[in-house]
Structure 1
Amino acid sequence: MQPKTAHSARALRSQGALAVLRYVHAHPSATRADAARALGLSSGSATEITTRLKAARLVDEDTPPRTGGRGRPSPALTAHPEGPVVCVVDIGHQRWRVAAIELGGGLLAEDDGRHSGSPRILGTLGDHVSALRTRYGRRLRAVSACVAGTVSGTTVVQASGMGWRDVDLEPLKPPGIPLLVGNDASLAGLAEARRGAGAGARVVLHLTVEVGVGGILVVDGRPVDGATGAGGEFGHMPFGDPALECPCGARGCWDLEVDGRAMARTLGRRAPRDPRTAAGQIIATAATVPAARTAVAAAAHALGRGIGALVNALDPDVVTLSGLATDLAEASPVALESGYTAALMRYRRAAPPPVRPTALGTQGPLTGAADAAFDTLLTEDGLTAWNAP
């Protein structure tokens, strides 16, 4: 009976420590008292748990400088200077970033650059990851990659903007370190739901437009990413012209109605080699060039219609937008609103879910990839591995 009681006590202590760790990660610079109130812990329990986490080199307490007011400021719970670190590799259509991130989302190191779209860039990125492994040693606990493409496991099955098909990201994996791979739009949505424009909502639909549409549905802070991790490819729903064939192989994809390709088509131009840059240029001239304004309004209206269809199907509390989707909403709000309202079921129109611009901007994918990595570390198994000799 005694061993069972001891095991139960250890499990309770472990759950308490995990709860505090997860709270600190989600609320950087919160105090011990904040954590105790949020988690329903007594002051004594919060102190005991914090002491153990400090001894395990997981959290630290940092006393902020005095502000001139009465009393001494409460120390903030922060990442331990010798605590766990994750490496995030962000592979966009033309740019890359490699970063080291600590508990709470603090950025410790970052490198970035441009690439031509060739999978050979993985060799360069692997070298950057190896350099971080050398720098941080056993503190580096996971590599989390976010890619502008459709992902299954650790393979990019399709990234039309880069011409990738069935590219395995294993070259990014140092020996003994787990590798996670996710779609950049889905990870941006995870970050927006937890820390950005969707924070506090239970069900968040996130959509981003770069070259086509990506996104994710996040429920209770967890992404609904499907059986293989490829969920959220909303741009390949048939919301467009069935006469148009998408590079994915399907016809009538929503992708082809909302980005630089759609705007160029409205203007009677050939498909641009760089749809994202072309879209930005067209939007920049929309205020003074009537034809550009018409092209932007058409794309914004198509975006709004798709949002309405997804709201009907998925019933989110809030819709968040990033990338070119934010630019379209700002440049042509009336067209987006009319498309959104027209697509909604009648009963939803009185109080539709609000559509909000990103709060995290270009940091969204990086932040989401780091959170996905820490989700795997802030577990009982993760704590056991960290505390192992």
Structure 2
Amino acid sequence: MEPMTAHSARALRSQGALAMLRHVHARPSAKRADAARALGLSSGSATEITSRLKAARLLDEEASPLTGGRGRPSPALVPHRDGPLVCVVDVSHERWRAACVELGGRVVAQEAGGHSGTPDVLRTLGHHVSALRVRYGHRLRAVSACVAGTVSATTVVQASGMGWRDVDLEPLRPPGIPLLVGNDASLAGLAEARRGAGAGARVVLHLTVEVGVGGILVVDGRPVDGATGAGGEFGHMPFGDPSLRCPCGARGCWDLEVDGRAMARALGRPAPRDPRTAAGHVIAAAASDPAARSAVEAAAHALGRGIGALANALDPGVVTISGLATGLAATAPAALETGYSAGLMRYRRAAPPPILPSTLGPQGPLTGAADAAFDLLLTEEGLAAWSRA
């Protein structure tokens, strides 16, 4: 066996530090002893790695509360008070949020407001990001934006709910800091697979209904987001009426069968200006209004049928749902189940992937955007850059 070189020893130490950081990020306040067991480290190695991470201002330790058992409890591993932060910008159809998030996912600062739907909101957000950079200095390591629209690299190709076309989010990038941009539903799915209802499953399909259907397939904790980052636009699969043209330019999109636009058509009403709010009103009325209940059941059936088709094609272990999809499932569970079963191949019907409601709710996109940014930072390159800061 060849002797270990200084370079290979450094590489092993680096990998051990990365593994420890990733473990703490995924499991905030993990005990040092538990982390050592999970990572296959000796107690001495875990202590040595923790000491280096403390010296590097990445982790710290807090005394664990006494349990009454024998011995002293292992200390909990927590983010260093001077450690790295990421800035998350969340732009939905009518609201925005700008937050700083530390290792482990805790929000340490947040501001929010409304907007008119025009790209002018980027100017406001750019000011907030710049202020956070001034406040936290070199600790701010990346900006991660999540947007209710189709994304390619740092450009929002289309966001029909806001009327955006080819809007570049570069104004959100402070000098010298990476900018990541993702679809809000896809990032919510990433968070749901890692920290929410899909945690523990190897293959998770996440779907959300807001204005249309978005989502992502997550395999081994990694999103399958395509060559340009625009993967997960499930709402534009032709599961609907081909006579209907979608704002995206295609015909027969699934989007048009499951949200407030579909319910308005079923009720003989004009297309709503705000499909999400309109859908919420119809779902709320379904308990006492037969026409509203029928509209909700039709949308739930269409949602279930599409989920069945995706289950056939993608073979997830679990399906998680959020947004208006949870309201459809709760209000018309039989219609959803009937549509789901009808869309599944026969051999899948005996044990179909379970459909589970989100446990993260509205925090899903922000949580996923923060995780995407820390994925960039928790690398050998990211740690090397931090050590030079």
| Normalised TM-score (structure 1) | 0.98
How far does the alpha carbon of each residue in 1:50-96 deviate from its partner, in whole angstroms, 9 at most, with x for none? 01000100001111344566654331101000000000000001100
Q: After superposition, where does 1:201-212 map in structure 2 within 5 Å?
A: 201-212=201-212
**Matches of 1:228 and 1:33, distance apart in 2:** 41
**Matches of 1:327 and 1:70, distance apart in 2:** 48
More moved, 4-13 vs 58-67: 58-67
Instruction: Name the residue aligned to 1:215.
Output: 215
**Matches of 1:49 and 1:166, distance apart in 2:** 46
Q: After superposition, where does 1:20-169 map in structure 2 within 5 Å?
A: 20-66=20-66, 71-169=71-169
Three-state SS of the structure 1 residue aligned to 2:165 is coil
**Matches of 1:275 and 1:63, distance apart in 2:** 50
Could you tell me which amino acid in structure 1 is paired with residue 318 of structure 2? V
Instruction: Name the residue aligned to 2:230.
Output: 230
**Matches of 2:57 and 2:281, distance apart in 1:** 49
Q: After superposition, where does 1:6-21 map in structure 2 within 5 Å?
A: 6-21=6-21
**Matches of 2:249 and 2:22, distance apart in 1:** 42
How far 1:109 sits from its partner (Å)? 0.3
Instruction: Name the residue aligned to 1:179.
Output: 179
Three-state SS of the structure 1 residue aligned to 2:205 is strand
How far 1:3 sits from its partner (Å)? 12
**Matches of 2:328 and 2:155, distance apart in 1:** 31
Instruction: Name the residue aligned to 1:262.
Output: 262
Three-state SS of the structure 1 residue aligned to 2:280 is helix
More moved, 26-35 vs 58-67: 58-67
Specify every segment of 5 or more residues in structure 1 that has no aligned partner in the other structure, as ranges: none
How far does the alpha carbon of each residue in 1:121-174 deviate from its partner, in whole angstroms, 9 at most, with x for none? 000000000111011100000000000000000000000000000000001000
Instruction: Name the residue aligned to 1:361.
Output: 361
**Matches of 2:208 and 2:60, distance apart in 1:** 36
Specify every segment of 5 or more residues in structure 2 that has no aligned partner in the other structure, as ranges: none
Instruction: Name the residue aligned to 2:192.
Output: 192
How far 1:4 sits from its partner (Å)? 8.0
Could you tell me which amino acid in structure 1 is paired with residue 362 of structure 2? T
Q: Closer, same or farther in 2 for the Cα pair 1:3/1:96, shift >3 Å?
A: farther
Instruction: Name the residue aligned to 1:346.
Output: 346
Could you tell me which amino acid in structure 1 is paired with residue 340 of structure 2? Y
More moved, 65-74 vs 267-276: 65-74
**Matches of 1:128 and 1:74, distance apart in 2:** 39
**Matches of 1:163 and 1:327, distance apart in 2:** 26
**Matches of 1:44 and 1:375, distance apart in 2:** 27
Three-state SS of the structure 1 residue aligned to 2:182 is strand
How far does the alpha carbon of each residue in 1:24-62 deviate from its partner, in whole angstroms, 9 at most, with x for none? 000001111111111111111111100100010000111
Q: After superposition, where does 1:273-312 map in structure 2 within 5 Å?
A: 273-312=273-312
Instruction: Name the residue aligned to 1:386.
Output: 386
How far does the alpha carbon of each residue in 1:234-275 deviate from its partner, in whole angstroms, 9 at most, with x for none? 000000000000000000000000000000000000000000
Instruction: Name the residue aligned to 2:249.
Output: 249
Three-state SS of the structure 2 residue aligned to 1:201 is coil
How far does the alpha carbon of each residue in 1:98-131 deviate from its partner, in whole angstroms, 9 at most, with x for none? 0000000011000001111010000000000011
Could you tell me which amino acid in structure 2 is paired with residue 193 of structure 1? A
**Matches of 1:255 and 1:90, distance apart in 2:** 22
Identity of aligned residues (%): 81
Q: Closer, same or farther in 2 for the Cα pair 1:101/1:160, shift >3 Å?
A: same
| Normalised TM-score (structure 2) | 0.98
Could you tell me which amino acid in structure 1 is paired with residue 240 of structure 2? G
